[in-house]
Structure 1
Amino acid sequence: MNTVHVAASEDYRRARAELLAAERELRAAAAVVAALRAALPPGPEVDSSSPLTTAGGKPITLDDVFGEHRTLLGYHLAFDASVDEPDEASAREVDVLDAQVPWLRERTAIAVFAPAAPHRLARLAQRRGWRWIVPISTQPGELSDRLGLCADAAEPALTVLVREGTTARLHWHGRAPLTARLMHLLPHPS
């Protein structure tokens, strides 16, 4: 196979070198942020008996969502009674997340939460072809309110909860897009 060499101007090479240096700095800063996030002390308690409902209509609790895992990665879909459809970008992020669930489930519990009615979540999951993700309505409970998500329901969010015995605690909560490296959001392997 012949190697093709493309001649680049000095301006291009200089700009490209500057870009590569900035990308290295960005990766280093992201590693610092991930380390700070992982080192967070125990956060506030979250009621693990919070009532929730599966998209299929089954009543469950937050503790049920954890299953066998110590950590729970929750994506909070911007979808409630005030809108007919979730924000398209938010739904696309769940499309991407759905493909990663089999790999993530080996490390953490994972769910998509929304204050929308269970039947609306079921229809959305079917229409979008979600195969792996577990859509969960925060109805009839107040999980979305308690995490401060209803005040800004148009904005999706990520939450990492950690279970210590029978206590669930908030580890991290933010508006990071799912394009962020998901494993950097977890405190440590569960």
Structure 2
Amino acid sequence: MAQAELPGDIERDDGPAFTSKDREERGHAAPEGESSVSGVAVTIKRPASELYAYWRDFGNLASFMLNVEGIDVIDRERSHWRVAGPNGTYEWDAVVTEDVPDQRIGWRAEEADVPNSGWVSFADAGPSRGTVVTAMIAYSPPAGIVGKLVAKVTQQEPAIQARRDLRRFKQLMETGEIATTTPPNREPKS
């Protein structure tokens, strides 16, 4: 993959492989080149080590990811996911592809109803500000663009879910609970 050049001769490749225009480099996350890529970030007033540790215990993720019906942790590198979608439940095995303690976790789905891959990173937000948590996901929607539109209409598109789930993660980590009601006279945000 091409290396990004940054000021001060710093080289870093912070783009996931699934964003590459090279199909071979993109791998199995985007068969037939029909991948949809989404990213979202939130600042959480907690240290990166605490957020990373909670996220790295994959069994915890269903506590704030609304459409996740269940995660069976197979071992430290593999887990089996069941996620509600517009046409029922989708399943896959996730394999950890990158694990940098307190900084980043990457994954790739195998044997997936919805091929996907991505990463979540934890970066210092500055003095007394906490941690910026960024999530990137690429997936190939069932039925291509039509499937993506159906998922958006039903509010089950991964970009919409990721935004909601990170807000719920923020609430859980900062307050110990997740708000479950909408204030009077206010429409819920997606």
State the TM-score, normalizing by the size of structure 1.
Answer: 0.27
Structure 2-normalised TM-score? 0.27
Q: Which has the larger radius of gyration?
A: 1
Q: Tell which has more relative contact order, 1 or 2 (C-alpha 8 A, sep 6+).
A: 1
